[in-house]
Amino acid sequence: MKSLQSYINEGLISDIILRLLDASIAWIGKGLDFIGDNIKASTSELWSTYKDSLKNAGDNPNANKQNPLYNIKNEKEFSKFIIEHGLSAKTFGERLKEIDKVMGSFSEATQTGEDDEMIKSNLHTHTTFCDGKNTPEDVVKEAIERGFDIIGFSAHAYTPTNSQWCLKKEREEAYAKEIIRLKEEYKDKIKILLGLELDYYSEVDTSQCDYTIGSVHYVYKNGKYYGIDSSPELFQKIIDEAFEGDVYAFIEEYYRLVGDVYNKTKCDIIGHFDLITKFNENGEFFDTQNPRYKKAAYSALESLLPENVPFEVNTGAISRGYRTEPYPAKDILQIIEKEKGRVIITSDSHQKETIDFYFDEAKLYAESTKVHIIDEI
C-alpha cells in the first residue's frame, strides 16, 4: 500500500492536494477550529470539497493524468482511498497536518527542480500588430502546444517618434478586439491577457488593458528623438551627434527617463531596465563599472523600487543574437533583491518560436541572486 509520501516521491501528487489545502485554509478563515479535536470530519464532508478539485483538475489540459487521484469517480472510491492511506479516522485538524506534511515535501521537491506545478507564462509578446512575425492566434496556439498557462500580448504602443515598429493608431481598436476574441475562444485552454508595451513617450488609452509594460526606447535631445536600440552604428551616432562624444551623458539621460518611467506610464512591469547595454556586452561603448554609469543606473533603481513594480528578466536580446545574458545585469538584480523587489521572466518575443526562449537559463540566472521571481501579476 502506497503512502501519500510515496506519491510525492514519484512525482504523482498534483494540484488536487494544493487545492485541498487552500480549501482547508479558507475554512479556517471562516472561524472553524481545525487545530483541535473538537470537529470531526466525515468522509462525505471531505469529499464535498475534494470532488470540486477533481473537476477542476480534470478540466486542466496540462494535468498529470497518471496521478491515481484523477481516477477517483465517486465518494465510495474516495472513501476507500483515504482509508487505505490512514486518513479516515482523523479529525480535520489532523488531516490538515497530514496535508501540510505532504505539501512540505512537495515544496522541497520543487526547490530541487521538480517545478511542474509552477505557472508557465510570458507577458512580453509582439505580433503582426506591431513588429512581430506571427498573428496573435498563431502565438496562442503555439503557447498551448508548449504548455503555457498564461500568454500576455504587449504590442508596442503608438509613439510619435517612429510608427514603423509600433501599433498604429488606426489599428488600436482592432488589436484590442482580436485579443478579447481570443480570450473567449481559448478560455478553457489558456489565460490570455491584453497588454501594451508603453514607451516613455507613448500617449495612448490603456483602459482596456489587463496590464502594461513601461519601457524606454528613445532619448530626446536638441529637438530630436533618438532610438537607442536600433543598431551599433546608430548608437554611436547618438553619442557623437546628441551628446558630443560623451557616452556617459547619454547613459545619464537614458537612466533619468527609466527612473521616471513608472511616474510617466503607471506601468505594471518595468521593461528591459538596462536596454542601453544591448550592444555593449563586451564593453564596446562604455564600462558598466564606471562610477558615472553605476550612479545613473542605481539612481533609477532608487526611484523605481518604492513603487513595488516587478522588473523584467528579459531574454529578447539573446534570442536575437545581441547578448548572451538577459536584462538586467546581475548587480542590478542583487540590488532589487536587497530592496525586496520582484522580477518576472519574459522573452520579449517577436515570433512564436521564442515565446519561452532561454527561460530555464534565465530562471537560474535570476535565482543565483536570490531575487524574488513571480510568474504572474
Pairing of the two strands 211-215 and 269-270: parallel
Interior/surface letters 121-150, b for 16+ CB within 10 angstroms, e for the rest: bbbbbbbebbebebebeebbbbbbeeebbb
Give, for all 377 residues of the chain, the pLDDT tens digit: 444 444 444 444 444 444 444 444 444 443 333 333 333 345 565 556 555 545 544 444 444 444 455 566 666 666 666 555 544 434 434 444 444 444 443 334 334 344 446 799 999 999 999 999 999 999 999 999 999 999 999 999 999 887 788 999 999 999 999 999 999 999 999 999 999 999 999 999 999 999 999 999 999 999 999 999 999 999 999 999 999 999 999 999 999 999 999 999 999 999 999 999 999 999 999 999 999 999 999 999 999 999 999 999 999 999 999 999 999 999 999 999 999 999 999 999 999 999 999 999 999 999 999 999 999 99
Pairing of the two strands 218-221 and 224-227: antiparallel
- Give the model's pLDDT for residue 161: 85
Q: Which three cell numbers stand for residue 342?
A: 520582484
CA 217 to chain centre: 21
26-31 LR contacts (CB < 8 Å, sep 24+):
27/92
Eight-class DSSP state of 368: T
- Please choose, from the candidates 275, 277, 270, the residue with its C-alpha nearest in 3D space to the C-alpha of residue 198: 270
Task: Go through the domains of the chain in sequence order and give each one's CATH number.
Answer: 4-111 (no CATH), 121-374 (3.20.20.140)
**In angstroms, rounded to a whole number, what is the distance separating the alpha carbons of residues 18 and 107?**
11
- Give the model's pLDDT for residue 98: 45
CB atoms within 10 A of CB 58: 11
- Give the model's pLDDT for residue 62: 44
